[in-house]
Amino acid sequence: MAKKIEKTNAARLLDRAKIAYELVPYTVDEANLAATHVAEELGEDIATVFKTLILRGDRTGHFVCVIPGDKEVDLKIAARISGNKWAELIPMKELLPTTGYIRGGCSPLGMKRKFPTYIDSSCELHERIYISAGVRGLQIALSPHDLIAVVDAEATPLCEA
């Protein structure tokens, strides 16, 4: 008998918003929490597996960038689009107290507070993308347009060329 997948807060938020999604489990490797490993486990193109990064800007404070798993956020672009002169990734020790999530399980849905959210515009090239469901070992597959709508995000280029 298949193990029942427990719904996360992120999934419950999508239920409340009446957004179609699929919960997709994968095997966690504690020594390799990279999105590239997640994509391999899912058997999906890394361009469709997005990671959630939390940044802090000098003017606006915290904000969220959701980017393809094999890319790096361009901090200058992220600062500019978020209304800051500069931005930096928050230290790992601040992730849980700031978002309620741990590394490898940070979802753009259901954080402790609502932060301005920016999603790399490459998401719009795909019918569906994967984001963390809020725990390690579980992804949410959904339409990027639905994700943009539910988190009130802006789709914009965020990555280094």
In tens digits, the chain (161 residues) has pLDDT values of 456 778 899 999 999 999 999 999 999 998 999 999 999 999 999 999 999 999 999 999 999 999 999 999 999 999 999 999 999 999 999 999 999 999 999 999 999 999 999 999 999 999 999 999 999 999 999 999 999 999 999 999 999 76
Residue 77: which of 67, 69, 126 has the closest Cα?
67
Inside any domain, residue 145: yes
In the prediction, which pLDDT does 6 show? Answer: 85
| Whole-angstrom distance, CA of residue 124 vs CA of residue 113 | 26
* CA-closest candidate to residue 104, choices 64, 141, 137: 137
Q: Are 160 and 30 in contact (CB under 8 A)?
A: no
pLDDT at 1: 46
HSE-up (13 A, CA, CB side) for residue 73: 29
Q: What's residue 2's pLDDT?
A: 53
In a domain, 71, yes or no: yes
What pTM was estimated for this model as a whole? 0.96
10 found inside a domain: no
Q: Does residue 53 fall inside a structural domain?
A: yes
Of 108, 109, 118, the C-alpha closest to 78 is: 118
User: Side-chain half-sphere of 154: how many Cα atoms within 13 Å?
Assistant: 12
- Whether 4 is in a domain gets the answer no
Would residue 152 count as lying in a domain? yes
- Tell me the residue range of the domain where 113 lies: 22-156
Q: What is the pLDDT, as a whole number, of residue 4?
A: 72
DSSP class per residue in 86-97: -EEEPPHHHHHH
The answer as to whether 28 is a domain residue is yes
Task: Return the DSSP state at 124.
Answer: G
Q: What CATH number did the domain enclosing 117 receive? A: 3.90.960.10
* Number of domains the chain contains: 1
